């Protein structure tokens, strides 16, 4: 007999640019948090507790503050030439979340935070697709924010230009406490 305990949690993502004049674009799509190891996802569990493709809305994701450097829900091409995707990862014509780094100063952060997710006494798998294209691409990080704790745990990080295609991010982590996932974009130097 298997005992399953559920606790809540959050997830956080971060991105950086090199400078005001040399800054790319970061985009996210198809975020899923599932119970169990990443290789075995979906085998025993019903719909994942943290699934979002941004087609209808932001799926409970929120921001620490909304301003010009915030995450935006977008469909189609991004407004800045030679940066970002031509469409979403899911269908090519749907929605995704992105930051417009040309509106940001060096070191400025944009944080996209999941709704609170239940904890689980075993492996959990976070799958997402990211797009980091542009000459001044900064930093994209993913953090685990456990309920009742001030410190966030770095789970994943990418820096700089990653190409013109959507790439798959896959993170296995453990949290028996309720938590959130945080996607953080930080603008870089040039």
Domain ranges for the chain, please list them.
9-186
Tens-digit pLDDT profile for residues 92-150 = 899 999 887 777 777 888 899 999 998 888 888 899 999 888 777 789 999 999 999 99
Q: Which residue has the higher pLDDT, 1 or 79?
A: 79
Q: Report d(CA 29, CA 166) in Å as an integer.
A: 9
Instruction: Please state, in angstroms and rounded to a whole number, the distance separating the CA atoms of residues 28 and 129.
Output: 6
Q: Give the pLDDT confidence of 34-82 residue by residue, as tens digits.
A: 666 666 544 444 445 578 888 888 888 888 776 666 888 989 888 877 7
Overall fold of domain 9-186: Jelly Rolls (2.60.120)
Q: With contact defined as beta carbons under 8 Å apart, do 25 and 44 qualify?
A: no
pTM value is 0.74
């Amino acid at each position: 007999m298997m005992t399953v305990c559920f606790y809540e949690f959050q997830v956080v993502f971060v991105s950086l640019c090199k400078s005001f004049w040399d800054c790319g674009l970061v985009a996210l799509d198809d975020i899923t948090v599932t119970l169990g190891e990443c290789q075995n996802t979906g085998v025993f569990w019903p719909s994942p507790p943290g699934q979002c493709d941004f087609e209808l809305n932001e799926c409970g994701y929120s921001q620490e503050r909304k301003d010009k450097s915030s995450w935006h829900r977008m469909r189609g091409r991004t407004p800045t030439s030679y940066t970002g995707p031509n469409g979403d990862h899911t269908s090519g014509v749907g929605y995704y979340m992105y930051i417009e780094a040309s509106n940001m100063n060096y070191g400025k952060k944009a944080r996209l935070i999941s709704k609170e997710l239940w904890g689980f006494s075993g492996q959990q798998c976070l799958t997402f697709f990211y797009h980091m294209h542009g000459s001044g691409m900064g930093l994209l990080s993913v953090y685990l924010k456990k309920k009742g704790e001030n410190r966030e745990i770095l789970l994943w990080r990418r820096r700089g230009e990653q190409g013109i295609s959507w790439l798959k991010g896959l993170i296995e982590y453990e949290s028996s406490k309720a938590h959130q996932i945080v996607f953080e974009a930080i603008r870089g130097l040039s």
